[in-house]
Chain A
Amino acid sequence: MLLGACCVLLMTGAFPLLGVPEIYQSGVMLLLGILTAALALSGALCLARKKISRLIFGCIASFFCIAGLIASYRYGAEAINYASIGGGGWFAAVAMGCYGMMGLLFFGIFGYLLTRFMTRNLWLAIAHLSLGLIALGAYLDFCFEERASLTLATSSTEPTESVITPDGRELALGFGVRAKTFKVSYYPSPYGLYERQGNAWKLIATLEDKDGILHHGEESWDSKLVKTNLGMGDQAYLALPASSSNAMRLITREPATVKNYEANCEISHRKGKYDLVLRVNEPIERQGWGLSLINFKEIGNQTIIQIQARSAPGRLIAMSGMIGLIISIAASCWWRKEDILLPSNSQS
């Protein structure tokens, strides 16, 4: 039960469509969730084997499971935040509890059905069917997919309601989308240590700013000394004259690397308007179109956001095939009686 609750909590937190909290972004929590789920599944398979009474108990409890599943789909990791707020938010907290209960019980039912009805040959058949689904989905996408680039400017007040495909056709989205604001965060700028070798400057080390000091071996410099100089452009640098042990060197401040970015978009349609946040790795689906945040460019005071709009009728079929393939291949490879090894005296 505890394992089931843990796995569901971990996986819910890592659910990508509902806004992923910082801690989950690396996927480590998803990995832990998968590992815990595997442990829960293994435990549940042992529990549910050939016991019909446990199946009945599992069916009664499935009511809680479904309630929890719906609530978690609706709230995701936010449920934990709602619980801390209190009031109406407690619905989500209770649902999370139910969802936690779901873990092992669901695996119990699933495990019972698996042990009773699934054979290795059936799993192999599912694997081949899954490959067929991937091929079918890919073929449908090859024939009917529409893909277009959508460029939104943050200064624009009018929503964009159509896209232009690469071959020049204009396609209606069926809704309007407008970028209201755009947020971008950067990693701290690194510093590059270059050495003059002949006529060229060669990067010999990348330095990090630690409490205002740049270290390289036994040498160190104050990072404030790396600055722009009058008449020398925008590049911040510090020239280190040649010495008996070193050729002429230069420390420059490298351009900052983008850490993450997101666009707050307004979606408008006949029934009204609402806001949603479009992030990298978290596409949105509206009226058959999938919108993915791909890139951005800052020009003056405004930001140009590049979004990919895609209508792919075979996408869900192909994805079901992929998930089916992952599960069925794992089952057919791992779920089999091992042949006796030859020669038998080599076993320990």
Chain B
Amino acid sequence: MSLITILTILCLLLQLAAATAALLKREQYCNSLLITGCLIAILLLIANWYAAHAPPFGNMRHVFCFFPLALSAALLLSRKSIPRSFTPYFALASSITLIGALCMPLQSSWRQMPALQSPWFAPHVTSYVLSYGLMLVATLIVLRSFALKGSHKELHLQVADRAVRLAFPFMTFGLWSGALWADAAWGRYWAWDIKEVWSLITWTIYIMYFHSQRQQPEYRRVLLLTAFIALIITFLVVNLLPKVESLHSYAQ
């Protein structure tokens, strides 16, 4: 078993333990486990970087491994707007992505093609990972809200709304910085590539969500879930379906 796999499993166990500790209202344990998990995630990033000889965003496994670190940063960013009782959702989101990482083949070495050797590369990917992580947290909170009633249900939607508002600027940066990068690399800012189109669809559904603030809560919940389905198609389906031809297929 490689070091990267060991670190991934260790990080996963810590995130699951942190989620359990938070659910049992053992806040101190939860914090310690999250900090340790974050340190392991940093080690994982370094190990991937060392193996890839480049910023480790070359394949889906690299990207999945980066989620726990991004979500740790997101948890820090959201400490004022999201109550601590929602910490398990962050740990759970990290765990889901780490399970995803373990399902992907370990391709440590990576040849960074010329177009990817751009200053836009790391900010573009990092902002997307941060936004997708937070959107996953928001979706988990909304899913939980379906099982609740009364003011707790309303509270969950409010917190999900805050997570989306925190994430959306990162998604916007990811989308439009991608266009600026494409202009430099391919000589056009929009190529109607399948990944670009699905990114725009996802972004537009979240915009629709922002414009539905006065609608019924049920409608907004469904809209958030629809947006997340579009996000999954953008993130996974386009890259993992073997017959889809995309300018972004180097991220497979």
A and B pair up: yes
Partner-B contacts on A (CB < 8 A): 14-16, 20, 24-31, 34, 138, 147, 187, 190, 206, 208, 257-261, 280-283, 290, 292, 294, 308, 310, 312, 315, 318-319, 322-323, 325-326, 329-330, 333-334, 338-339, 341-343, 346-348
**Distance in Å from the Cβ of B76 to the closest Cβ of chain A?**
12
Contacts across chains A and B counted by CB atoms under 8 Å = 136
Q: A138-B190, A258-B113 are in contact. Are A26 and B180 (CB under 8 A)?
A: no
Whether B155 contacts A258 by the Cβ 8 Å rule is no
What separation, in Å, do the CA atoms of A96 and B51 have in the docked complex?
Answer: 36
* Across-interface contacts of B117 in A (CB, < 8 A): 25-26, 260, 280-281
**Other than the known A15-B119, A258-B114, A325-B176, what 17 A-B pairs have Cβ atoms closer than 8 Å?**
A16-B184, A28-B55, A29-B119, A31-B123, A31-B126, A187-B111, A281-B114, A281-B181, A292-B187, A310-B188, A312-B188, A319-B189, A323-B180, A341-B83, A342-B158, A348-B83, A348-B85
Identify B155's interface contact among A24, A322, A341, CB under 8 A. A341
For chain B, residues 115 to 155, give those with C-beta under 8 angstroms from any C-beta of chain A: 115, 117-124, 126, 151-152, 154-155
Identify B172's interface contact among A147, A283, A325, CB under 8 A. A325
Identify A341's interface contact among B84, B113, B114, B159, CB under 8 A. B159
B32 at the interface (CB under 8 A from A): no
Whether B189 contacts A329 by the Cβ 8 Å rule is no
Identify A281's interface contact among B118, B122, B155, B176, CB under 8 A. B118
Q: A16-B119, A30-B123, A341-B155 are in contact. Are A346 and B85 (CB under 8 A)?
A: yes
Whether B85 contacts A25 by the Cβ 8 Å rule is no
Interface size range on B against A: 35 or more
B169 at the interface (CB under 8 A from A): yes
The interface residues of chain B, by DSSP majority, are classed as: helix
What separation, in Å, do the CA atoms of A280 and B112 have in the docked complex?
Answer: 13
What separation, in Å, do the CA atoms of A294 and B182 have in the docked complex?
Answer: 12
Q: A26-B122, A27-B123, A334-B165 are in contact. Are A280 and B189 (CB under 8 A)?
A: no
Whether A27 contacts B184 by the Cβ 8 Å rule is no
**Distance in Å from the Cβ of A193 to the closest Cβ of chain B?**
14
* Across-interface contacts of B165 in A (CB, < 8 A): 333-334
**Distance in Å from the Cβ of A8 to the closest Cβ of chain B?**
15
What separation, in Å, do the CA atoms of A259 and B122 have in the docked complex?
Answer: 18
What separation, in Å, do the CA atoms of A333 and B173 have in the docked complex?
Answer: 13
What separation, in Å, do the CA atoms of A138 and B151 have in the docked complex?
Answer: 46
What separation, in Å, do the CA atoms of A206 and B183 have in the docked complex?
Answer: 34
B109 at the interface (CB under 8 A from A): yes
Whether B114 contacts A261 by the Cβ 8 Å rule is yes
* Across-interface contacts of B67 in A (CB, < 8 A): none
For chain B, residues 97 to 112, give those with C-beta under 8 angstroms from any C-beta of chain A: 109, 111-112
Interface digits, B173-201 against A, CB 8 Å rule (1 contact, 0 not)? 10011011101111111100000000000
Whether B119 contacts A190 by the Cβ 8 Å rule is no
B168 at the interface (CB under 8 A from A): yes
